[in-house]
Amino acid sequence: MFFPLLSGKGWLMYSGQIVFSQLMDFLPKHEFEKCVRRYHGNRRTRKFSCYDQFLCMAFAQLTYRESLRDIETCLRAMEPKLYHAGLRGRVSRSTLADANETRSWRI
Protein backbone atom coordinates (compact mmCIF):
# COMPACT_ATOMS: atom_id res chain seq x y z
CA MET A 1 0.00 0.00 0.00
CA PHE A 2 1.22 3.50 -0.83
CA PHE A 3 1.29 6.15 1.87
CA PRO A 4 2.34 9.64 0.71
CA LEU A 5 4.30 11.79 3.13
CA LEU A 6 2.87 14.99 4.57
CA SER A 7 5.09 18.04 4.78
CA GLY A 8 4.43 21.65 5.70
CA LYS A 9 3.72 22.50 2.05
CA GLY A 10 1.45 19.55 1.23
CA TRP A 11 1.72 15.91 0.17
CA LEU A 12 5.03 14.51 -1.10
CA MET A 13 5.55 11.45 -3.28
CA TYR A 14 7.86 8.65 -2.17
CA SER A 15 11.13 9.17 -4.04
CA GLY A 16 12.97 5.91 -3.30
CA GLN A 17 13.28 2.75 -5.38
CA ILE A 18 10.20 0.78 -6.33
CA VAL A 19 9.80 -2.62 -4.66
CA PHE A 20 10.61 -4.59 -7.84
CA SER A 21 13.88 -2.72 -8.22
CA GLN A 22 14.75 -3.41 -4.59
CA LEU A 23 14.15 -7.14 -5.12
CA MET A 24 16.28 -7.21 -8.27
CA ASP A 25 19.17 -5.64 -6.35
CA PHE A 26 19.60 -8.99 -4.60
CA LEU A 27 20.45 -10.70 -7.90
CA PRO A 28 24.20 -11.25 -8.21
CA LYS A 29 24.54 -9.52 -11.59
CA HIS A 30 28.12 -10.69 -12.10
CA GLU A 31 27.03 -14.34 -11.83
CA PHE A 32 24.12 -13.69 -14.19
CA GLU A 33 26.43 -12.10 -16.78
CA LYS A 34 28.82 -15.04 -16.44
CA CYS A 35 25.97 -17.43 -17.22
CA VAL A 36 24.89 -15.31 -20.21
CA ARG A 37 28.43 -15.43 -21.61
CA ARG A 38 28.67 -19.19 -21.04
CA TYR A 39 25.52 -19.89 -23.09
CA HIS A 40 26.01 -17.02 -25.61
CA GLY A 41 22.73 -15.41 -24.64
CA ASN A 42 23.38 -11.93 -26.05
CA ARG A 43 24.69 -13.18 -29.40
CA ARG A 44 23.05 -11.41 -32.34
CA THR A 45 20.90 -9.16 -30.18
CA ARG A 46 20.51 -5.45 -30.76
CA LYS A 47 18.39 -4.00 -27.99
CA PHE A 48 16.66 -6.65 -25.89
CA SER A 49 19.37 -8.16 -23.69
CA CYS A 50 19.14 -11.28 -21.55
CA TYR A 51 18.97 -9.09 -18.48
CA ASP A 52 15.96 -7.23 -19.93
CA GLN A 53 14.32 -10.58 -20.66
CA PHE A 54 15.04 -11.76 -17.13
CA LEU A 55 13.52 -8.59 -15.66
CA CYS A 56 10.37 -9.02 -17.76
CA MET A 57 9.97 -12.67 -16.81
CA ALA A 58 10.69 -11.98 -13.13
CA PHE A 59 8.12 -9.19 -13.16
CA ALA A 60 5.61 -11.55 -14.80
CA GLN A 61 6.27 -14.22 -12.18
CA LEU A 62 5.94 -11.82 -9.26
CA THR A 63 2.72 -10.27 -10.56
CA TYR A 64 1.09 -13.59 -11.55
CA ARG A 65 0.91 -12.89 -15.29
CA GLU A 66 -0.38 -15.83 -17.33
CA SER A 67 0.42 -15.02 -20.97
CA LEU A 68 2.67 -12.88 -23.14
CA ARG A 69 -0.30 -10.63 -23.91
CA ASP A 70 -0.92 -10.22 -20.18
CA ILE A 71 2.76 -9.43 -19.56
CA GLU A 72 2.81 -6.87 -22.37
CA THR A 73 -0.38 -5.19 -21.17
CA CYS A 74 0.88 -4.91 -17.60
CA LEU A 75 4.28 -3.56 -18.71
CA ARG A 76 2.58 -1.01 -20.98
CA ALA A 77 0.47 0.16 -18.05
CA MET A 78 3.66 0.70 -16.05
CA GLU A 79 5.56 2.32 -18.91
CA PRO A 80 6.44 5.56 -17.05
CA LYS A 81 8.00 3.45 -14.27
CA LEU A 82 9.86 0.90 -16.42
CA TYR A 83 13.10 2.87 -16.32
CA HIS A 84 13.01 2.86 -12.51
CA ALA A 85 12.37 -0.89 -12.55
CA GLY A 86 15.53 -1.44 -14.61
CA LEU A 87 14.01 -1.91 -18.07
CA ARG A 88 15.34 0.36 -20.75
CA GLY A 89 12.24 0.77 -22.88
CA ARG A 90 8.98 -0.56 -24.23
CA VAL A 91 8.69 -4.35 -24.50
CA SER A 92 6.57 -5.86 -27.26
CA ARG A 93 4.99 -9.29 -27.22
CA SER A 94 6.83 -10.47 -30.34
CA THR A 95 10.21 -9.42 -28.95
CA LEU A 96 9.57 -11.29 -25.73
CA ALA A 97 8.29 -14.35 -27.62
CA ASP A 98 11.36 -14.42 -29.89
CA ALA A 99 13.71 -14.07 -26.93
CA ASN A 100 11.99 -16.89 -25.04
CA GLU A 101 12.14 -19.12 -28.09
CA THR A 102 15.74 -18.56 -29.18
CA ARG A 103 17.68 -18.13 -25.95
CA SER A 104 18.82 -21.02 -23.83
CA TRP A 105 16.54 -21.97 -20.95
CA ARG A 106 19.65 -22.56 -18.81
CA ILE A 107 20.26 -18.81 -18.52
pLDDT-derived band at 93 (thresholds 50, 70, 90) equals very high
Q: How far apart are CA 10 and CA 64, in angstroms?
A: 36
pLDDT digit string, tens, across residues 16-39: 778 888 889 898 999 999 999 999
**Enclosing domain of residue 82:** 17-102
Q: Is the residue at 5 inside a domain?
A: no
Q: Is the residue at 3 inside a domain?
A: no
Q: Is the residue at 9 inside a domain?
A: no
Q: Is the residue at 10 inside a domain?
A: no
For the chain, what is the domain count?
1
CA dihedral 46, 20, 74, 71 (to 10 degrees): 60
Q: Is the residue at 1 inside a domain?
A: no
pLDDT digit string, tens, across residues 62-92: 999 999 999 999 999 888 888 888 887 788 8
Q: Is the residue at 87 inside a domain?
A: yes
pLDDT digit string, tens, across residues 49-65: 999 999 999 999 999 99
pTM: 0.80
Q: How far apart are CA 84 and CA 68, in angstroms?
A: 22
